[in-house]
Structure 1
Amino acid sequence: MASVLTIRGGKALRGTVSVRGAKNLVPKAMVAALLGDTPSTLRNVPEIKDVDVVTSLLRIHGVDVTKDPETGDLYMDPTKAKSATSAEINTHAGDSRIPILFCGPLIHAIGEAFIPDLGGCKIGDRPIDYHLQVLRQFGAVVDKTPDGILITAPNGLKGAKLELPYPSVGATEQVLLTATRAEGITELKGAAVEPEILDLIAVLQKMGAIITVQTDRVIRIEGVPALRGYNHRALPDRNESASWASAALVTRGDIYVEGADQQDLTAFLNTFRKVGGEFEVDDDGIRFYHPGGELNPLVLETDVHPGFMTDWQQPLVVALTQADGVSIVHETVYENRFGFTEALRRMGATIQVHRECLGSIPCRFGQRNFLHSAVISGPSKLSGADIDVPDLRGGFSHLIAALAAEGTSRVTGIEIINRGYERFEEKLRGLGADFDVEAL
């Protein structure tokens, strides 16, 4: 049900929040359960919309999915996997792009896969071309239908030599989920090596896969005829951790993020400290806080891991509106990720977006008419406004801007935030945020 948040800003967020398994790993690990011939157990699972979507998609394909009511652990039994109708898939997929990752596992399990027209956050093109090209190179036959795309492999899937033009996380996941049971050896050059990718490799290795991560973004997979189920605890969500860190900075607050992992946040923590934020690390999490005084402007470029992650950029831009001076942010991963700044400008922020690459190295979006660089001047006094959430990270960024602003803001489209932030309204209340929720 659609709802609106009425936020009364100007109050520092203080307290503790917990983060669980990563949104960018958990749904993919759930899909991997289809590859096993025995049940799998996934632990540290967050209560987010993407998990609900994959649970529904697995169930309509015959996978028995049960959830432990006390721990939240998922138990998935794929032994009765079956085909699903296009209408069922369309109904349960909604605007999610996850169905594309079902293709390899479904072909191995039942001989075919169907994917509907795909949605997702409107932050860039993110075409599925990479995925379809990958599947064709494994020997899959791709047929367009009135409802979507039907993928089969009459002669089975075979190992292949692949090279990605850009280290796409989704395409790398596609290769891993397809190659583990393909006949022969697969070599992938130009692979993504994000922590969530390495955790997915850990899941597949537990199932019996043989996967080697080599230097220079090369992954080698030796196909095996069968895999078993796994028991795995998902790594914590570094993107949610970084979002709460930025919330502490923007509102001049103090937030302890239970479950945050320093190792996977190195690039963020360095930048957080350069801006003027402070943090303390212990065995259970990280305390992020504004130490007082002015924040510092900086020049920042997003990049694939181990660089500064694109999902960290939007919440941090809100903090940069409060820095004393001019900051420059060059987005090199998604070409349309600065659409969220329009609402910040209406709230009083001084932000200019540019087509040029305002970074040290020209990126693939240069000279292509994309507004992918931003110049932020601060500090700016933010005032409440009416805001409609454009995408997941942009939406969270709008929330923390509204929480820092003077006056009242009305935020709609908050359902998108549920895709990646577990019980975010409950967590905001626990941090002292002043807001009401009402149905539209």
Structure 2
Amino acid sequence: MDRIAITGGVRLEGEIPISGAKNSAIKLMAASLLTDEPLRLTNMPRLADTRFLGRLLQRLGADLVESDGVDGPETVLRTKEIVSAIAPYDLVRQMRASFNVLGPLLARTGQAKVSLPGGCTIGARPVDLHLKALEALGAQIDLHEGYVYAQAPRGLRGATIAFPFVSVGATEHALLAAVLAEGETVLENAACEPEIVDLADCLNKMGASISGAGTPSIRIKGVARLGGASHAVIPDRIETGTYALAAAMAGGEVRLTNTRADLIEALLDKMTEAGAEVTRHNDGVTVKRNGARLRAVEIETDPYPGFATDLQAQFMALMTLADGESVVRETIFENRFMHAPELRRLGADITVSGGEARVRGVDALEGAPVMATDLRASVSLVIAGLAARGETMVNRVYHLDRGFERLEEKLGACGAQVRRIVGDGEPED
């Protein structure tokens, strides 16, 4: 099993290009099931998660071609016909978001059998809201032996769906199903994340009629069919924020390109409050820290445009060296402080109580072997390792490969001493 070794204490200087958003790309890929025409996605990230979903889509009948075009990495998907409406456990279990093929399969074929995604290390993350949204659209849902059996033999019908709480996944799933439903669908208390807007923009290019994406109320007028389209995936705001925090942690000056500062304003405001120097550009953001100690600040995770839960672990790593005591409140997921014990192995002073962590800044971190527990927790350990004395060895980095493209290369280009060790052998070139 691969590991990543970081020798800390090196300031970062240089430029990091940001990849397309993982959380957007995988839902856009699922949208290819809604048409028999080609869907061309540019600015595509090459990640374990996109590979997992690609395999599932091919099982369902999609042709998939990856290439490096003039607009960067691209993927063309075409599902002339659905050859199977069954998404088996062995594929769905590898990535929760693959459950979102249920809606498109149901909308296009009137039936689907999709495995429940199973548990998750950062909380239960139930799919109840997904299923209730599909039922509101007229689907008949049965659960049996770990699978969802869904039928809509007469097609889906528009409905008003009021979510009891904001759910990005359920909002996206409802969008993917409702675009081919008869009549109008209204989603109330919908998620407002940029990835929702990106999905709606792509679906509209394919011939859908969606308005209000990015607000709590989304209207979808169902259409009889969708066509092909070409769409560029938005920049990954979590990758953007992660490298911004890495620059603030290690010190130096890093310019992040091919991205948008407006996607992470809540984070940038907190970084500025902590003492990092942030400069916004048309194509990204520059983060600079001259070596002065950062100040402790408080954060609380919230749905967009609030502070992203997917940046909480990375920000906690930054606060381990800040002057004073910071408070980190997690309101989105339970069990999302599993990185805290690993950061303590590096010398951090962190006390967790329920959904709140108190981080008392220390003078220095010391490198040590640590264990990645999930995607965002794993990269928080890399960030901490950049500033720790000596070597930090991050184990189980397959989590990282799910969401960060060429991490060692991007950090290494800015001077970081980061290398991958393949299995138990020598470092990978």
TM-score surpassing 0.5? yes
Partner-residue secondary structure (3-state), 1:68? strand
**Match for residue 365 of structure 1?**
none
Partner-residue secondary structure (3-state), 1:173? helix
| Cα displacement (A) at 1:214 | 7.7
**Match for residue 419 of structure 1?**
402
| Cα displacement (A) at 1:179 | 0.6
Q: 2:355 aligns with which of 358, 362, 372?
A: 372
**Match for residue 198 of structure 1?**
197
Identity score, percent: 38
Give distance in 2, aligned partners of 1:322 and 1:240.
Answer: 21
Give distance in 2, aligned partners of 1:43 and 1:119.
Answer: 31
**Match for residue 383 of structure 1?**
366
Q: Which stretch of the first structure deviates more once superposed, 376-385 or 145-154?
A: 145-154
Partner-residue secondary structure (3-state), 1:298? coil
| Cα displacement (A) at 1:266 | 1.6
Give distance in 2, aligned partners of 1:139 and 1:390.
Answer: 39
| Cα displacement (A) at 1:148 | 2.1
**Match for residue 16 of structure 2?**
17
| Cα displacement (A) at 1:433 | 2.3
- 2:20 and 2:233 in contact (8 A); partners too: yes
| Cα displacement (A) at 1:216 | 6.4
C-alpha change, 1:129 and 1:227, in structure 2 (3 Å) is same
Give distance in 2, aligned partners of 1:93 and 1:161.
Answer: 29
| Unmatched runs of 5 consecutive residues or more in structure 2 | 425-429
Aligned positions of 1:4-403 closer than 5 A = 4-70=3-69, 71-83=72-84, 85=86, 89-119=88-118, 121-213=120-212, 217-354=216-353, 371-403=354-386
Give distance in 2, aligned partners of 1:215 and 1:421.
Answer: 25
| Cα displacement (A) at 1:396 | 0.2
| Cα displacement (A) at 1:120 | 7.0
C-alpha change, 1:255 and 1:40, in structure 2 (3 Å) is same
> What amino acid does structure 1 have at the position aligned with 2:231?
H
Give distance in 2, aligned partners of 1:164 and 1:130.
Answer: 7
- 1:35 and 1:109 in contact (8 A); partners too: yes
Give distance in 2, aligned partners of 1:431 and 1:167.
Answer: 38
Q: Which stretch of the first structure deviates more once superposed, 393-402 or 379-388?
A: 379-388
Give CA deviations for 1:330-352 in whole Å, capped at 9, x if unaligned.
11111221111111112111111
- 2:43 and 2:232 in contact (8 A); partners too: yes
Give distance in 2, aligned partners of 1:30 and 1:267.
Answer: 28
Q: Which stretch of the first structure deviates more once superposed, 184-193 or 377-386?
A: 377-386
TM-score, normalized by length of structure 1? 0.91
| Cα displacement (A) at 1:309 | 1.1
- 1:236 and 1:259 in contact (8 A); partners too: yes
TM-score, normalized by length of structure 2? 0.94
How many residue pairs get matched?
421
Give distance in 2, aligned partners of 1:14 and 1:313.
Answer: 24
| Cα displacement (A) at 1:199 | 1.0
| Cα displacement (A) at 1:121 | 5.0
* 1:409 counterpart = 2:392: yes
C-alpha change, 1:33 and 1:158, in structure 2 (3 Å) is same
Give distance in 2, aligned partners of 1:396 and 1:48.
Answer: 15
- 2:257 and 2:285 in contact (8 A); partners too: yes
- 1:382 and 1:405 in contact (8 A); partners too: yes
Give distance in 2, aligned partners of 1:45 and 1:335.
Answer: 30
| Cα displacement (A) at 1:112 | 1.9
> What amino acid does structure 2 have at the position aligned with 1:276?
G
Partner-residue secondary structure (3-state), 2:422? strand
| Cα displacement (A) at 1:269 | 1.4
| Cα displacement (A) at 1:434 | 2.0
| Cα displacement (A) at 1:146 | 2.7
> What amino acid does structure 1 have at the position aligned with 2:408?
E
- 1:83 and 1:110 in contact (8 A); partners too: no
Give CA deviations for 1:56-85 in whole Å, capped at 9, x if unaligned.
111111111111244321111111222155
**Match for residue 439 of structure 1?**
423
- 1:326 and 1:376 in contact (8 A); partners too: yes
